[in-house]
Amino acid sequence: SKKVVLPEFSHFNSALFCDEKTFAEYYSEEGKTFELRLTGKIKQQLTSDPTLRPEYPSPLGLTEFTQRATEVTLGKSCRAVMENRVLGVQTPGFTAAVRLGAELLRHWHDASVAWYGPVYLSSPCDDSLRGIFQAAGIQDIHEYYYWDDKQRAVCLEKLLEDLERAPERSVVVLSASAHYPTGADLTQKQWALVIQLILVTYVYILIFFFPFTR
With contact defined as beta carbons under 8 Å apart, do 140 and 163 qualify? no
- pLDDT value of position 176: 84
- pLDDT value of position 206: 84
| Mean pLDDT across 169-180 | 87
pTM of the model: 0.73
pLDDT range class, residue 182, cuts 50, 70, 90? confident
| Mean pLDDT across 17-28 | 51
With contact defined as beta carbons under 8 Å apart, do 138 and 169 qualify? no
| Mean pLDDT across 80-92 | 91
Average pLDDT score, the chain? 81
- pLDDT value of position 24: 46
The CATH T-level fold of domain 7-54+91-208 is Aspartate Aminotransferase; domain 2 (3.40.640)
Judged against a pLDDT cut of 60, whether residue 23 lies above it is answered with: no
**Closest listed residue to residue 201, CA positions, set 146, 163, 155:** 163
Q: Please state the domain extents for the chain.
A: 7-54+91-208, 58-90
Classify residue 169 by its DSSP letter.
T
pLDDT range class, residue 74, cuts 50, 70, 90? confident
**Alpha-carbon span 126 to 63, nearest angstrom:** 29
